[in-house]
Amino acid sequence: MGYARAMIRIVLADDHAIVRTGFRALIEQEDDLCIVAEAASAQAAQELVDALDPDVLVLDLSMPGGGFALLSHLHEAKPLLGLLVLSMHDREPYVGEALRRGARGYVTKGAAVDELVEAVRAIHAGQAYVSTDIANRVPPCPVDLRQLSEREREVFVLLARGVVPKQVAADLGISVKTVYLHRSVIRDKLAVRSDLDLHRLALECGRL
């Protein structure tokens, strides 16, 4: 006897009603996905996320109030929330900037419809996802992660996901001081300056 998948609760933020209608029709065909609310502006999306605490926010970058600003705020305020961009823009600076600001996934409106469903599930599972049309243009991982020890790779992934050092220490059973030491070594080896840079690098290398 099989077991039903846990329901993934989604807030959809896009100022075009036709996009929201199409996305809802797609989601309603899936037994593990549920749109709990829709928003037509960044402010409305923020209020809905605060009130409903969804698993994933799917948002357009160009909606009123600014999608980029909302990404940055929610990445800091709600690190467990999966942030997925659904955008008409398929090139820089949009893609890179969205990832820098905390998006874990990026799907273009021109991508195959099933990719959006795949992206929601991947992000909910803690993975990164970019639609095929973007992935085909993304260069390979710019650093050799094999230079990190196994423990350093564990710390790297957790920090890149936005987990605070105290929680990293608890998750790995090590001291907070040790986490900071690992973080310093990781930054030196990978030539990055911040946890935000670690996040982007992890996305580029497929480690989120």
- Residue 87 and residue 89: Cα distance in Å, rounded? 5
- Residue 17 and residue 14: Cα distance in Å, rounded? 7
Amino acid letter, residue 185: V
Residue 130 is classified by DSSP as E
With a pLDDT cut of 70, the percent of the chain lying above it is 94
Here the tokens at position 175 are 């001291």
| pTM for the model | 0.68
Residue 146 is classified by DSSP as G
Say what angle helices 195-204 and 176-190 make with each other, to 10 degrees.
60
Q: Is the dihedral of CA 42, 82, 172, 151 positive or negative?
A: negative
| pLDDT: which is higher, 208 or 59 | 59
Please give the distance of CA 1 from its chain centroid, rounded to a whole number. Answer: 33
140-183 pLDDT tens trace? 677 777 888 989 988 988 888 778 889 889 989 999 999 999 99
Residue 15: its pLDDT value, please? Answer: 94
89-115 pLDDT tens trace? 887 678 878 887 889 899 998 888 789
Q: Inform me whether the pLDDT recorded for 134 exceeds 90.
A: no
Domains of the chain: 8-135 (3.40.50.2300), 145-204 (1.10.10.10)
What's the average model confidence in pLDDT over 14-39?
A: 93
Q: Please, which contacts does 104-108 make with residues 24 or more away whose CB atoms are closer than 8 Å?
A: 104/128, 104/129, 104/203, 104/208, 105/129, 105/130, 106/130, 106/131, 106/134, 107/131, 108/133, 108/134
112-129 pLDDT tens trace? 878 999 999 999 988 888
